[in-house]
């Protein structure tokens, strides 16, 4: 059995670094015509150079997922170039911490605008195209925070819980057009979003003790899931939240198995 993605056209958001960069490079290596979106031009330039060096297929746009006009431009240019959109991966996301009593409104709005509204705007822009095609795959980045949140994560966790529930609603709405919509709950993958691997060892140990597999996740763990969900192999999976967290809190005290 093989995952066959070549010839698909896929838009990925938040590709400048971290998990999104790994996702778009993996898809491109699998033959997907990729369109990458980010707000950081320097990162996009670097990515574009890496694509050229590897001979990969990609178009890159400086686009803020909170901006519906910019999104329309990206989608129009994609259609002009490739004529279709088979896959949308809403990966762009931001963190924002603070206990509710003192949480600045700006942080609340920032998390909800990028993580939730940005995803909604991206979906809205591709739905008519996917409906015309009678085919589409939409994959949304939730988080383990949508399953069990941390203290001080009200803004982030509620935005990601929103992603999970939004994805289920959209799956229901788009089922008749053979469009699947899923979300995934990534666990702890060290990136510039969380700086996990730079924490003092004691704090790292505390976090690792919550994981059944007791090791950090890797960006490729997510990229491989995206390839599977985008492929025909996952054609009967929709409306679900997939947990990719190394079994975070699968049992109450995962650490006990290591003692």
Ligand X SMILES: NC(=O)c1ccc[n+]([C@@H]2O[C@H](COP(=O)([O-])OP(=O)(O)OC[C@H]3O[C@@H](n4cnc5c(N)ncnc54)[C@H](O)[C@@H]3O)[C@@H](O)[C@H]2O)c1
Catalytic residues: 156
- Own/partner contacts of 227-230, CB < 8 Å, gap of 24 or more, are 227/3, 227/5, 227/26, 227/27, 227/30, 228/3, 229/137, 229/139, 229/180, 229/182, 229/184, 230/5, 230/8, 230/10, 230/27, 230/32, 230/86, 230/87, 230/89, 230/137, 230/139
CB of 149 to ligand X, least distance (A): 11
Between 178 and 218, whose beta carbon lies closer to ligand X? 218
CB of 136 to ligand X, least distance (A): 20
CB of 223 to ligand X, least distance (A): 11
Between 17 and 112, whose beta carbon lies closer to ligand X? 17
CB of 163 to ligand X, least distance (A): 8
Token code pair at residue 120: 């909604």
Secondary element (H or E) of residue 208:
helix 201-208
Q: Residue number with the shortest CB distance to ligand X?
A: 93
Please return the burial class of 236, using the count of CB atoms within 10 Å of its CB with bins 0-12, 13-18 and 19+. exposed
Least Cα distance to 229 among 191, 183, 195, 197 occurs for 183
90 in Cβ contact with 13 (< 8 Å) = yes
Between 118 and 162, whose beta carbon lies closer to ligand X? 118
Between 79 and 207, whose beta carbon lies closer to ligand X? 207
Question: Which residues sit at the interface with ligand X, rule CB under 6 A?
Answer: 13-14, 16-20, 37-40, 43, 64-66, 91-94, 114, 118, 141, 143-144, 186, 188-189, 191-194
Between 66 and 84, whose beta carbon lies closer to ligand X? 66
CA dihedral (78, 84, 89, 94) in degrees, to 10, reads 30
Least Cα distance to 96 among 63, 139, 145, 165 occurs for 145
Secondary element (H or E) of residue 255:
none
CB of 83 to ligand X, least distance (A): 24
């Amino acid at each position: 059995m093989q995952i066959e993605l070549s010839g698909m056209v896929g838009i990925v958001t938040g590709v400048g670094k971290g998990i999104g960069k790994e996702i778009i490079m993996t898809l491109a290596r699998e033959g997907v015509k990729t369109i990458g979106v980010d707000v950081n031009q320097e990162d996009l330039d670097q990515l574009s150079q890496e694509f050229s060096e590897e001979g990969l297929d990609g178009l890159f746009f400086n686009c803020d997922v909170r901006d519906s006009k910019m999104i329309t431009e990206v989608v129009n240019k994609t259609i002009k170039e490739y004529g279709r959109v088979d896959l949308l991966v809403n990966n762009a996301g931001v963190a924002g911490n603070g206990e509710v009593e003192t949480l600045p409104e700006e942080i609340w709005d920032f998390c909800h605008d990028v993580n939730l509204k940005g995803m909604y705007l991206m979906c809205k822009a591709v739905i008519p195209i996917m409906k015309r095609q009678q085919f589409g795959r939409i994959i949304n980045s939730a988080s383990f925070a949508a399953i069990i949140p941390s203290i001080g994560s009200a803004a982030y966790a509620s935005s990601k819980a929103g992603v999970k529930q939004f994805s289920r609603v959209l799956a229901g709405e788009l089922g008749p057009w053979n469009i699947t919509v899923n979300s995934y709950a990534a666990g702890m993958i060290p990136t510039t979003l969380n700086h996990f691997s730079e924490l003092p060892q004691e704090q790292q140990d505390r976090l690792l003790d919550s994981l059944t597999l007791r090791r950090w996740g890797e960006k490729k763990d997510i990229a491989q899931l995206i390839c599977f969900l985008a492929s025909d192999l996952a054609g009967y999976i929709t409306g679900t939240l997939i947990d990719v967290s190394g079994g975070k809190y699968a049992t109450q005290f995962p650490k006990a198995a290591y003692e």
